[in-house]
Amino acid sequence: MMTEEEIRRFLANLDREATAPVTKVQFPPLEGGPARGLTVKTGIRFLEEVKVDLVVQLGEATMKVRELLDLKEGSVIELDRAAGDAADLVVNNQKFGLGEVIVLNDMFAVRVSAIHSPRGGQADAMAGEGGANEQ
């Protein structure tokens, strides 16, 4: 904690600094040299330990708040997909691909059936590859 004398000296210094002349700073001109458009190439191994959220979406439903408040144990919510349809694989809130929900050793799992193109195009079929992934 500052004493009253320290506060007065601090404020006096501020007053002196406020009245000090301001000098204009000259910066060298910016040039569009090699730094412009520079791409850094690193191996994928630097990203291997980065954690991402993977969500498997079986379907969606739109409800009114009244309907939501009326839900109770045993209520059924009808989704927009038929049984057996592919589930969406979503990584960090971005659709990543499609998968088939399976049961593996009494646990739900997902067999990846398609991976979406990074450019948002059509899914690339990958049936039979990748095995089961966690939810």
Dist. CA 64–CA 61, nearest whole Å: 10
- In angstroms, how far is CA 85 from the centroid of its own chain? 26
Residue 112's pLDDT is what? 94
Domain membership flag for residue 70: yes
CATH code of the domain containing 111: 2.30.330.10
Domain membership flag for residue 18: no
Domain membership flag for residue 41: no
Residue 90's pLDDT is what? 93
Domain membership flag for residue 76: yes
Per-residue pLDDT of the chain (135 residues; tens, 9 = 90+): 788 888 888 888 776 666 667 778 888 887 665 666 667 777 888 888 899 999 999 999 999 999 999 999 999 999 998 888 999 999 999 999 999 998 989 999 999 999 988 765 544 444 344 444 444
Q: Which domain holds residue 86?
A: 47-135
Residue 69's pLDDT is what? 95
Residue 17's pLDDT is what? 62
Domain membership flag for residue 106: yes
**Number of folded domains that form the chain:** 1
Domain membership flag for residue 16: no
Domain membership flag for residue 1: no
The 3-state DSSP class for residue 45 equals helix
Residue 74's pLDDT is what? 95
Domain membership flag for residue 35: no
Contacts 24+ apart (CB under 8 A), 19-23: none
Q: Is there a contact between 135 and 56 (Cβ–Cβ < 8 Å)?
A: yes
